[in-house]
Amino acid sequence: MRNSTSVPEFHFIQLSVEPDIQIVLFGLFLSMDLLALCGNLLIILTVSSDSHLHTPMYFFLSNLSIVDIGFIFTTVPRVIMDIQTHCRDISFVGCLTQMSLFIIFGCTDSMILAVMAYDGFVAICQPLHYQVIMNPSRCSVLLLGSFLHSLAELLLHFVAILNFSNCEDFIEISNFYCDPSELLQLACFDTFTSNIVRYSVGALFGLLPISGIISSYFKIASSIIRSSSSSGKHRTFSTYGSHLSIVYFFYGTGRRVCFSSFLSQSSRSIAVA
């Protein structure tokens, strides 16, 4: 009998076996990595160097950029290395580390977007109390709460992922990184526990921040509609339209990946999504 305390090795799928396409993928991921790094560093340096931008909105924006850098550097450099070395294996500890960083940065990213929506709600709907409500202490507490929320998310995943000690010795992941949602599906525990963990994770990671964003922007939109100033409406839309576009791309692509994992049996199509 196999030793039940052994831990498995993980194997990523190969996006393409064609050498020409691998070169294209290498260039795509490398340019994506450099573009994200340069863009976010530019935002951080701009906010920190200009005293006029030391406001709650730009405080959260600069922290969002820091989290974004960590988020993309959790997965993309590993993909570039795998394409270059043609090695797609990762140890249990390595996969657990990547999954942990992915959850921490991804969940914090999601919560900061919700906090930015709340900041916009206070600025538009309660402008006279804005400086009192969004004081530096409150901003720090909201940022700390976002990080603690991500730790709670990580704790739920650890409960499930540590059960891999009773699984097979070699597990293939239908992606090019240790996707937490797929690791939950591959973990070895009963269906009831699996559903409890998945629903809890979905409520924490998805429902809570999305509900906050929708609620905040619903109140912002109601306030804008009641406003009689056309210049004020234009300024508000131009200010928060960019934030809404970020929210759309962040959750839109995430939803696309989730639907692909449920509807498609093709590992490569899930990885492409």
Beta strands per DSSP E along 116-269: 170-173
Higher pLDDT residue, 207 or 264? 207
Q: CB–CB of 32/176 below 8 Å?
A: no
Task: Kindly write down the DSSP assignment for every residue of 61-122, as one continuous string.
Answer: HHHHHHHHHHHHHHHHHHHHHHHHHT--EE-HHHHHHHHHHHHHHHHHHHHHHHHHHHHHHH
What domains lie within the chain, and their CATH numbers? 9-272 (1.20.1070.10)
Residue 172's pLDDT is what? 77
Q: Look at residue 96 and tell me whether its pLDDT is greater than 50.
A: yes
Residue 169's pLDDT is what? 60
Q: Look at residue 270 and tell me whether its pLDDT is greater than 70.
A: no
Structure tokens at 197: 């963990």
Q: Look at residue 1 and tell me whether its pLDDT is greater than 50.
A: no
Residue 7's pLDDT is what? 60
Spell out the residues 6+ positions from residue 208 whose beta carbon is closer than 8 angstroms to its own.
114, 149
HSE (side-chain half, CA atoms, 13 Å) at 264:
15
Beta strands per DSSP E along the chain: 9-12, 89-90, 170-173
Residue 229's pLDDT is what? 67
Q: CB–CB of 178/10 below 8 Å?
A: yes
Q: What are 33-74's pLDDT values in tens digits? A: 999 999 999 999 999 999 899 999 999 999 999 999 999 999
CA-to-CA dists, residue 229 to 119, 125, 198, 220, 234, angstroms:
21, 15, 46, 15, 9
Residues pairing with 12 in the sheet: 173
Q: How far apart are CA 211 and CA 213, in angstroms?
A: 5
Q: How far apart are CA 240 and CA 247, in angstroms?
A: 11
Q: Look at residue 16 and tell me whether its pLDDT is greater than 50.
A: yes
Residue 2's pLDDT is what? 46
Higher pLDDT residue, 19 or 39? 39
This prediction's pTM: 0.83
Q: What are 166-199's pLDDT values in tens digits? A: 455 667 777 888 888 777 777 666 566 666 776 7
Maximum average pLDDT range among 33-47, 78-92, 146-160: 33-47
* Percentage of the chain exceeding pLDDT 90: 28
CA-to-CA dists, residue 40 to 36, 70, 150, 248, angstroms:
6, 11, 21, 19
Residue 164: how many CB atoms within 10 A of its CB? 21
Helix, coil or strand: residue 134: coil
Average pLDDT over residues 194-217: 78
Q: Look at residue 134 and tell me whether its pLDDT is greater than 50.
A: yes
Q: How far apart are CA 68 and CA 99, in angstroms?
A: 15
Return the C-alpha torsion angle 129, 146, 77, 93, nearest 10: 170
